[in-house]
């Protein structure tokens, strides 16, 4: 079935059709997502709102529509494909980071609410994955993600499924991201903020310099 998840009415229609099927849906994988790269005041409001529809509204609509049947059956689950940005932040991705922090809050809270119901909730927080995401996000730097950071879509998918089947709360695919998120978890905010500020100034200079 095809659906434009940026169209709220179409997403609701899809959710209704799936919910009406015999047996319902065993596992919902919220995988669709898009990003936007650049300083916030130079961003397109239309593109940002479209990103919110896909990354937040569609996830909310589908999860809300299909979850009650899972709870009633005492089985099934939801697999949220999120981002490492759901656990941290980086200049040039402000609105995208916001959408992924929403997913983190939703997934963590749902997992707590559904404890003991037989329904599983797993959030996957990868770093860069080799898909068309980077190109569509508008990479103004002209530089590719280093190979030692980027993982394949197959690697990410296998880690996600294995984590879900093991009923893990959070899955972080890739050695580099595991180390980065470990450091992020143990680094006080006052240490990272000056680093992020420097990265923000460099990103602003790079983007605005290309625009002149």
Measured CA to CA, the distance from residue 50 to residue 188 in angstroms comes to 33
Catalytic residue among 93, 96, 140, 164: 96
Helix, strand, or coil here: 132? coil
By DSSP bridging, strand 120-124 and strand 27-30 are: unpaired
Token reading at 155: 């690697």
Which strand (E) or helix (H) includes residue 166? none
Q: Is 96 a catalytic residue?
A: yes
Phi and psi at 207, nearest 5°, equal -70, -50
Per-residue exposure over 130-154, b if at least 16 CB sit within 10 Å of its own CB, e if not: eeeebeebebbeeeeeeeeebbeee
89: left (phi over 0), alpha (psi -120 to 50) or beta: beta
Beta strand segments in the chain, E: 27-30, 77-81, 120-124, 170-171
Q: Where are the alpha helices (DSSP H) in the chain?
A: 8-20, 45-52, 58-73, 94-113, 133-137, 153-165, 175-186, 189-211
DSSP 187: S
Q: Which residues pair with 120 in a beta bridge?
A: 77
Give the residue numbers marked as catalytic: 96
């Amino acid at each position: 079935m095809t659906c434009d998840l940026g169209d709220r009415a179409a997403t609701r229609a899809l959710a209704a059709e799936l919910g009406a099927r015999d047996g319902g849906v065993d596992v919902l994988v919220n995988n669709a997502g898009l990003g936007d790269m650049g300083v916030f005041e130079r961003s397109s409001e239309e593109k940002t709102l479209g990103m919110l529809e896909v990354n937040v509204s569609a996830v909310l609509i589908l999860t809300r529509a299909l979850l009650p049947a899972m709870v009633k059956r005492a089985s099934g689950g939801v697999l949220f494909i999120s981002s490492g940005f759901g656990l941290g932040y980086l200049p040039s991705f402000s609105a995208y980071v916001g959408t992924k922090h929403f997913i983190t809050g939703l997934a963590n809270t749902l997992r707590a609410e559904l404890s003991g119901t037989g329904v599983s909730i797993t959030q996957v927080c990868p770093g860069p994955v080799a898909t068309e995401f980077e190109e569509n996000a508008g990479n103004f730097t002209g530089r590719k993600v280093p190979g030692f950071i980027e993982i394949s879509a197959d690697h990410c998918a296998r880690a996600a499924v294995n984590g879900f089947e093991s009923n893990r709360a959070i899955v972080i695919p890739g050695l580099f991201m595991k180390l980065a998120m470990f450091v992020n978890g143990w680094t006080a905010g006052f240490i990272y903020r000056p680093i992020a500020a420097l990265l923000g100034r460099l990103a602003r200079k790079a983007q605005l310099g290309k625009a002149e």
